[in-house]
Amino acid sequence: MLALTDACAEGRVPGSVVLVAADRGCRGIEAARERGVDTAVVEPASYGARDEWSAALKEVVGASDPDLVVSAGFMRILAPVFVDAFAGRLINLHPSLLPAFPGAHGVRDAIEYGVRITGSTVHFVDHHVDHGPILLQEAVPVEFGDTEQTLHERIKTVEHRLLAEACRLVLEQRVRMENGRTVVEGYGAHS
């Protein structure tokens, strides 16, 4: 969130962060408030089911009339009621080269599997976890002796740049879908 607000302020992304929403109080909410960005906390425990919580979150996010909705570090599965409301403008950031290592432990899983390369993926969100048309990806080598923390720090450096670039491309309307794949003007086809 901080990297994205910085990219907007520096003009690398043609827009501004209008709302930061979370499922609980966290450092991201505090940092957004410090930067004068509107915030909202929609706690799942206040709702009977994921669908009800997702519907409430949809109302909160929708009230800010966003051109793009970014899920980064959110760590919650969004129900179709939310995903469908923002179809084509809801992207997620994931710390692996999807479709490899989806889920909450992508970095740990990459290390445990012994891969030599992992990375970061920005993709459009669909009804499945860490799935949907891939917008951008970048590889990050796994170095001998990496821990989950050291590897994740290197991935985060890539993520900060990749997320800003993905947001810029979407907001500049340089992304379209063809047969379930993204085509990014100037980048070629991605799946």
Which active-site residues does the annotation give?
Answer: 94
- Give yes or no for a contact between 124 and 136, defined as CB atoms under 8 angstroms apart: no
Helix (H, G, I), strand (E, B) or coil at 136: strand
Backbone phi, then psi, for 30, in 5-degree steps? -60, -45
* Sequence-ordered list of residues with C-beta below 8 angstroms from that of 28, at least 6 positions apart, any chain: 1, 2, 20, 22, 73
β strands within 35-94, DSSP E: 39-41, 69-71, 90-94
Residue partners of 188: CB distance under 8 A and separation at least 6: none
Q: 2-9 vs 148-171: helix axis angle to the nearest 10? A: 40
